[in-house]
Structure 1
Amino acid sequence: MKNIVYYLVVLLTLILLNGCSSASHSWTAKAYHNTTAHYNGYWYAREELDKIDQDIWAAYEDDYNRILRLYPPLDSAQAKGYDKEIQEAVKMASLAIQRHPNSKWVDDGYILVGRARFYSLDWGNSIQTFKYVNTKSKDLDTRHRAIIHLIRTFTEHQEFNNAQAAIDFVQKMPLTKTNKKHLLLEKAYFYQMQGDLDKMVRNLSEAVPLLKKRDKPGRIYFIIGQVYQKLGFEAEAYNYYKKCIATNPEYEVDFYARLYMAQVTEISRSKDVNAARKSFRKLLKDGKNKDFQDKIYYEMGVFELKQKNLDEAIADFNRSVRAGSNKRIDGEAYLRLGEIYYDTLRQYQLSQAYYDSAINSLPKDYEGYARIKARQEVLNEFVKHLNTIKWQDSLLALAAMDTAALRAQIKANYEAKKREEEKRAAAEKKRRGGNRIDLSGGRSNPMFANENGDQQEVDWYFGNPSAMSVGESEFKRVWGNVPLEDNWRRSLRSTVANNEEVDDTAPDDPNEQKPTNEPPPADPVAAEYDRLDKQIPRTEEEKQQALDKIEDAYFKLGDIYYFKLQESDNAVTTYNTLLKRFPETKHEAEVLYKLYLIYKNSDPGKAERYASLLLSKYPDSTFAKLLKNPNYLAESEQTGEKQKVLYKDAYEQYTQGDYAASRQIVGEALALGQTTFVPNLELLQVLIIGKTENAAQYQYGLEEFIKKYPEAAITEYAKTLLQSSRDFQTKQERRMGIQYIRSLEEPHYFIMIYRKDEKLSDVASAVLDKFNLANFKDLSLKTSNLILNDDYALTMVSELPRVTSAIEYAQTFKAQVSKLPELQNHKFNTFVITKDNFDIFYRTKGLDEYIQFFQKNYPAEAQ
């Protein structure tokens, strides 16, 4: 008997050992390997990946102000934090694959490896692993599952074309319910990442019947509701929000579903409106929603706006700003207020303050941020020009007052302001004592009930978002975007001290009181007088500068009304104010043309009057040409394109050092006619001068270009070139001092210098041209005029090839000058100078120094 038992044990052992062999295909081998692969390698690898997935969800914070993401985004920094778990998952899945190659869990192990690579953002290996499963697996459902994972990987890596190809392939296959559900969810995510909400919600709706409890259907219902609400299908949105609440989802999802459900309630009767408001008030009263009050007030504002109740909407948006600290919600409330004051009330200054606050609060990835930023910049420009007009007019009015009257006016304003502040302080103290604070902050200061039904009204700065928004905007204009920290003024001063660039483009503010750590002045009236006195235009030149600023501000304000705000009536008023106040304005031709365009369709009679005035006063202007030929700009543009082609050739010659050829091509391009591209050609001409002439002529050419084209886009570049040239010479000057070069064996100029009041420029050029032709025809000399400084101008003859030629020229001119009647009644001086010395002379304006150098280094016969 013992022998029988012994042999049975041995036989069983042999059978088990044979089953452990990876090459065996017996039923015992399959059972062993399937069990071991599943509960050892595969199970532990899946547990690690599920833990990573949970950690990713836990780290992600949903933004309920947007349509929720179906999946949280993957982050490379976060991926490093779970690298250990990734490696462990790959290791365990690999053990199941390597040690149990005949088990049915091999393909599933490969999918786990692909998922691990996916979570570690190793896109290439993840894709290759899923493709391997699709081509090698014998199980059709596993292959489909691999392709579905592949779609997610391609989507995350933004390979949308490949993702679409995978979708097209797998959706034709016979899928299990589970695979179909996952495919629909992946397709929905694929469309969400591309912003196609219509296809996204179609796939989510199709997936709804397939959802299980572990899929968190409440969240998906909520997302469907958000998409339908965004697309304008409010009845569908309402139904899905209701479905979401029925699943008892997480509290935050439940809260927002109830909030948005009130927003999309179908309003057909007044009692429906009251029911919706009651729903909002119920959410406000719930203590669990304390942290969400800003969002509730915001949605109340949106609701009232839809009912066209502007005062209530403004009040609700203002409450939203006060109720919480979520910058995004604040930004959206500011944005809504800015839109109301812009689109409906046409109060652009208030709108500008709210848009400023919105831009400072909203994240840069906010939907439509670029459009919001563009409108904010338009409003900033609008308010800037409006403030310029008001401030410069105020300064001109103050300039007409004598000292005593000005001091009396400042004192009266100060005392009135002080009385008002004392009155407000008393009222505030009384209200605080009576626990009555006005929190509306609205434009019309409306009354409203708190959650207990009590009426409240306020007069407190920090309860007035309109005032706070304006104050915040002004603070940032003066101080910049200062971080919230102690001693911010000190840190800002250190920043400004290291910043070489100062923005002086903003208009002065008549009420600007810049923050300071210094104690208030003993005599505020005297301090204010001193501040204003420094800015008041006293001289005629200063008054003209103030008027020039007003003139330009009116012109730009009219353009903003006409082109950017689409306010034709206000544009007409502003343009006419400009023409009436500044009858000699440099903008008259352009303004007349714009007035013609405004009235062209609405009032042809007025349009014709403006057209006639334009043609009679400015017949050669671009705007008159446009009036005669509406295709003028198009034809000019064609000419400009030809000039651009020639410019390219000219610039290529310039870079190769063939300046004569470059100058010739530029001349050909300019001969084609006047276009908007002409400034580019003329600047290239100046650059050629910089390479072929002296620095003085180069700088003079840049100066003249800047004067001629002050508004051209390329003028800033010309200013940079001019400043660089001057800076270089200044550095040379500081290093070497004013030292003329004693080497005279190089080309020379002959200079005739005279005071500007002699008005000799044209005469001198003509006389010297005639003199050159008569005496030095073979040298092909040319003359040019330059301004030396405020007192002196000069006429220059260039260039005399050698010092001997220069001395001969000077001697000849000296001998014949008495026979030149055109010069008899004028005072001037003459000398010769080398090209290098002329650069030094023109830069330093050292006339006396050079005369001494000339007398010392050149023969007396030439002097």
Structure 2
Amino acid sequence: MRTVYRVILVLVVSTFLVASCSRKKNSFVSRNYHAVTAEFNTLYNGYDVLEQGRTSLNESYFDNYWEVLPIERMEVTDEVMLPGQSKSELFSKAEEKAVKTIQKHSMNFQGKEKNPQIDEAYLLLGKARYFDQRFVPALEAFNYILYKYPASDKINQAKIWREKTNIRLENDELAINNLKRLLKQEALEDQDLADATSMLAQAYLNTKAVDSAITQLEVAANATKRNDERGRYRFIQGQLYNTLGKTDSANYAFDKVIELNRKTPRIYLISAHIEKIKNFDYKSGNKLELLERLTELEENRENRPFLDKIYHQIATYHLKNGSDTLAVSYYNKSLRTNTQDRLLKAKNYEILGDMSFDKLLYRDAGAYYDSTMGNLVVDSKPYRVIKRKRDNLEDVIFYETVARVNDSILELVSLSDVDRVQYFESFIERLRLKAQEEKEEKERQEAIERNRGGVAVNNVPGGQQLSGRGVPGQASMFYFYNPTTVAYGKNEFVKIWGDRALEDNWRWSSKGGTGTVNNTSSQDILASASEDELYDPQFYISKIPSEEKEIDSISKERNFAYYQLGLIYKEKFKEYPLAKSKFKTLLNNNPEERLVLPSKYNLYKIYTVLGENDEATIAKQDIVTKYSESRYAAILNNPELADTEDGDSPERLYEALYEQHEDQEYAKVITACETYINKFDGEPIVPKFELLKATAMGRLYGFEKYSKAINYIAVTYANTPEGMQAQTIENNVLPILANKDFVEDNMSNNFKVIFKFQDETLLEAKPFQKVLDTVLKNIKYYDLKTSLDIYDQSTALVVVHGLKTAQVAKTFDQLLTKEDRQKIQVPYFVMASENYQIIQIHKNLGIYLNRTNK
């Protein structure tokens, strides 16, 4: 019986407790039960998951130390999230815990919340949404706390988080006002004060108020209890002082970071050291002491993860001290650390590229610039700057190679038969030695491959055999798993084929890499030679050009390359000594007449810049005396013409022609372009005139002539911007324009009414258009416009635009009043817009009219 009573008692007590813990009852037991359950169950788990997500967010975030760091380590993306989606499962789970707390433990009686943990749940909800980058819902959660729980002990935190969210939503001015009010009204302390002032500093940074941001960061650094935050705030202070040019204050802030030592993340410590080193005064500072500090950073084992930055700074030190070899060595060391800092990689490559360019190693410079662009954001400003350098270098590499190769060919042409035999015997001897070395290298590689399994057994503990991938117990001879054989194969490919791009038809001689030009054809000669021919001097002698026309062509190509190099070095790179050397070499090579005068004038300009006044006077006198009727002589006699763009300057003439082209004066543009192309032959402006002439020819004569003109520009001026543009047009635009097939009317939703004026009525087109414009204003329900389009030299078309159906277009005259119809007596025909485009491109209006009249 006693057992039965006990069971009944337990059931009664349990029933009483469950009933008393109901959310519907405002009792002491219920309030405390739900408060304790919420705090130590769902909320605890929710904050635990939130912290995991925040830690993961911080670890995945990569700070850009080349710019001022943000206060909070969080990357905001523009990715649009659909309802129900989340950027992180952890934040989604934290949000679920907050919602569960509110749903299961909220005790709202007569508009008042009796569970003191619900405001904490809404705070968790807002934080989870904030880190999940759903800022508007997060703002709603924080605002709900401020509205519903004004007496909450979390009210200040809610206000701070609300302003953090406003800052993310770019409401910086609102955040500044609210945070300043909070700091004024509330006596914030410790972490709350640090959070409020740090966020205020971020808002000031966003609004470019740097001084105010520094002040707030000082307060935040002193108030925070977290050393990682203190180190970050102090480091940002130093960066901001640097932007203001206050080096001493910046160094003081960096010293504060360094004093924290192991209390703050190592990256802040190393970055503070590096920033101080960047501020070093190389003119008055102790360089030996600086080198000792750099060496100490390099040798400290704790700094190994940051050697990429340290090596870069050591390289910069050696570069500024004129130790180029050491600088190159350390820049390469920085790159070999496989740094994840893409901007650091880009800077290393760019500096190495600049150094190579200064040493005239153009191919190496081009490769370095390519690597630089590979580590920059495409189409960003730094990317465009490097791309411009690389594009300019492309021309240098091309023309330097042309000049070098053609000089070599012409030198062979000038040799006697005996000298040619001696030259190629020496060349063949070098070929034999090279072949022998390659044979020995190949045998050595084969021996390595044969012994590779045995070596692996000796090197792996326990006698396990390693494959090419380093997997025990799996012997593999796959070629690409062995870096030695891969490197050997790459070298062999370059030796035979040159630097070829990865594309179809890569074996064609025209597909040679940058700077290979005629060198590729020499590789083709070697590749095509038989074993007997390969070591026969007469085989190579037979390849030397012998016809006068061919030799003359090579000489002209060489001379033009020297002229272009002179211009590039003078105009683009300001390398005046190099430019002078190229122009003088050109004039000594008996160039064609069109290059002589521009070269002499450019030499005069270079002498003036270099301060070689005697040489400049001689060059000026030569031009004025021998070419007194030239434009250059006119400029030298009237120097003010060189400082202002007079009416005869190529640029002004081009602008005037372009305006004529816009006015559809195509025949005049073509004639004038031909005149100016001859007048300014050899100058950089010529390709512009050629492209303008091609466009005018297309508008006046149609597709065929336009296609031929574009092809001519693409071939003749291949390495100019206009030539590249022409090549793009030829590849991408001309195939589309080539279509001559007319479309049926039912396939179009845009039609034109066309009035044709030809031969003797041509001059009536413009007055007629004015009358038509006045008439169209009286038409209701249609927004119609007109244009006067030149069809060919003897035909103009007045076109009405804006009609959507063929039926309305064909009954166009029915839209006019009786009086207006009297003013428009010229017959018209109707055409779909697509067909109108075709007849203007291919000049086949007659074919279209015959087709429609059948």
TM-score class, shorter-chain normalisation, is 0.5 to 0.7
State the shift of 1:209 in Å. Answer: 0.5
Report the equivalent of 1:587: 595
1:392 deviates by 1.1
The residue correspondences of 1:205-604 to structure 2 (distance < 5 A) are 205-213=218-226, 215-222=228-235, 224=237, 233=247, 236-237=250-251, 240-241=254-255, 243-244=257-258, 246-249=260-263, 252-253=266-267, 256=270, 260=274, 263=277, 273-287=287-301, 289=303, 292-321=306-335, 328=342, 331-340=346-355, 347=360, 349=362, 352=365, 355-356=368-369, 358-359=371-372, 362-364=375-377, 368-401=382-415, 405-413=419-427, 415=429, 478-479=498-499, 496=505, 502=511, 506-508=515-517, 510=519, 526=535, 534=543, 536-599=544-607, 602=611
Q: Which residue of 2 aligns with 1:186?
A: 199
Q: Secondary structure at the match of 1:544?
A: helix
- 2:129 is aligned, of 117, 122, 127, to 117
Distance (Å, rounded) in 2 between the aligned partners of 1:533 and 1:327: 55
Instruction: Tell me if structure 1 keeps the 8 A contact 2:498–2:520.
Output: no
Distance 1:133 1:778, change over 3 A: closer
Distance 2:179 2:493 in 1: 55
Which residue of the partner structure matches residue 438 of structure 1? none
SS in 2 for 1:73: coil
1:72 alignment partner, one of 74, 79, 95: 74
Taking the aligned partners of 2:247 and 2:604, their CA distance within structure 1 comes to 45
Name the residue aligned to 2:161.
149
Structure 1 residue 686, shift from structure 2 partner: 2.1
SS at match of 1:538: coil
**Cross-structure match for 1:50:** 51
Q: CA deviation at 1:53?
A: 0.8
| Alignment partners' CA distance in 1, 2:492 and 2:351 | 17
**Is contact 2:405–2:519 with CA below 8 Å preserved after alignment?**
yes
Which moved further from structure 2: 389-398 or 239-248? 239-248
Q: Corresponding residue for 2:837?
A: none
Give structure 1 stretches of 5+ with no counterpart.
1-9, 430-466, 482-491, 651-661, 733-776, 781-797, 800-863
Distance in 2 (alpha carbons) for counterparts of 1:304 and 1:500? 43
TM-score, length-scaled by structure 2: 0.60
Measured against aligned partners, the alpha-carbon deviations of 1:202-233 in whole angstroms (never above 9, x if no partner) come to: 54344210121265434544555566678672
Whether the 8 Å contact between 1:283 and 1:289 is mirrored in structure 2 is yes
Contact 1:117 1:123 in 2 (8 A): yes
- Structure 1, residues 13-42: CA drift from partner, whole Å, max 9, x if none? 999978966796x88887666555544554
* Counterparts of 1:412 and 1:725, CA distance in 2: 51
Alpha-carbon distance in 1 for matches of 2:367, 2:704: 51
Q: State the 1:308 CA deviation.
A: 4.7
Q: TM-score, normalised by structure 1?
A: 0.59
Show the 5 A alignment for 1:12-51.
35=36, 37-51=38-52
Given that 1:134 and 1:144 are in contact with CA atoms closer than 8 Å, whether structure 2 keeps it comes out as no
Q: Which amino acid aligns with 1:575?
A: F
1-side partners of 2:623 and 2:526: how far apart? 56
Counterpart secondary structure, 1:58:
helix
Distance change (3 Å), C-alpha of 1:210 and 1:646: same
Cα distance between partner residues in 2 of 1:262 and 1:779: 81
- Alignment check: 8 A CA contact 2:312 2:331 kept: yes
Question: Do the aligned partners of residues 262 and 516 (structure 1) sit closer, same or farther apart at CA in structure 2, a change above 3 Å counting?
Answer: farther
Secondary structure, counterpart of 1:537 in structure 2: coil
382-391 vs 348-357, greater mean Cα deviation: 348-357
CA distance, structure 1, for counterparts of residue 19 and residue 549 of structure 2: 109
Deviation of residue 685 (structure 1)? 4.3
> Does 2:150 align with 1:138?
yes
Alignment partner of 1:79: what SS?
coil
How far did residue 120 of structure 1 move? 2.9
Structure 1 pair 264–725 and aligned structure 2 pair: CA distance change class (3 A): closer
Aligned 8 A contact 1:392 1:547 in 2: yes
Q: Do the aligned residues in 1 keep the contact of 2:717 with 2:723 (CA within 8 Å)?
A: yes
Aligned residues of 1:154 and 1:163 also touching (Cα < 8 A): yes
Please give the alpha-carbon distance, in whole angstroms, between the structure 1 residues aligned to 2:356 and 2:573: 13
Q: Partners of 1:338 and 1:283 in 2: how far apart?
A: 27
Structure 2 contact 267–306 (Cα < 8 Å) conserved = no
Instruction: Check whether the contact 2:126–2:139 (CA below 8 A) recurs between aligned residues.
Output: yes
Q: CA deviation at 1:73?
A: 1.6
Percent identity over the alignment is 18
Quick check: 1:91 aligned with 2:105?
no
Return closer, same or farther for 1:43/1:592 CA change in 2, 3 Å cut-off: same
Partners of 2:337 and 2:570 lie apart in 1 by 39
Structure 2 segments unaligned to the other structure (5+ residues):
1-11, 445-486, 741-758, 763-792, 795-854
Distance in 1, Cα, partners of 2:550 & 2:242: 59
CA shift at 1:310, angstroms? Answer: 4.2
Task: Indicate conservation of the 8 Å contact 2:254/2:276, yes or no.
Answer: no
- State the 1:282 CA deviation: 4.2
2:701 matched residue in structure 1: 690
Distance in 2 (CA, whole Å) between partners of 1:715 and 1:409 is 38
Give CA deviations for 1:123-144 in whole Å, capped at 9, x if unaligned.
4433444455556653598666
C-alpha displacement of 1:394: 0.6
For residue 299 of structure 1, report the CA deviation from its aligned partner: 2.7
User: When the two structures are aligned, how many residues end up with a matched partner?
Assistant: 659
**1:111 and 1:129 in contact (8 A); partners too:** yes
CA 1:276 to 1:414, structure 2 compared with 1: closer, same or farther past 3 Å? farther
Distance in 2, matches of 1:421 and 1:228, equals: 62
Question: Residues 226 and 681 from structure 1, CA distance in 2 versus in 1: closer, same or farther, beyond 3 angstroms?
Answer: closer
Q: Secondary structure at the match of 2:535?
A: helix
Equivalent pair of 2:563/2:583 in contact (CA under 8 Å): yes
Cα distance change, pair 716–65 in 1 and its aligned pair in 2 (3 A) = closer
CA gap 1:236/1:302 in 2 versus in 1, 3 angstroms: same
Distance 1:333 1:595, change over 3 A: same
Q: Which amino acid aligns with 2:74?
A: P
Rate the CA distance shift 1:140–1:34 in 2: closer, same or farther, 3 A.
Answer: closer
Q: Contact conserved, 1:561 with 1:567, CA < 8 A, in 2?
A: yes
- Check conservation: 1:238, 1:265, Cα contact below 8 A: no
Equivalent residues of 1:242, 1:257 under 8 A apart: no
* C-alpha distance in 2 between matches for 1:404 and 1:108: 98
Deviation at 1:624, TM superposition (A): 5.7
Task: Name the counterpart of 2:821.
Answer: none
Partner deviation per Cα, 1:233-283 (whole Å, 9 max, x = no partner): 267436635634535247743772586388369689999644544444444
Give, as a single letter, the amino acid of the residue that structure 1 aligns with 2:398.
K
Report deviation, 1:538: 3.2
Query: CA shift at 1:642, angstroms?
Result: 6.8
Q: Note if contact 1:410-1:528 (Cα within 8 Å) is conserved in structure 2.
A: yes
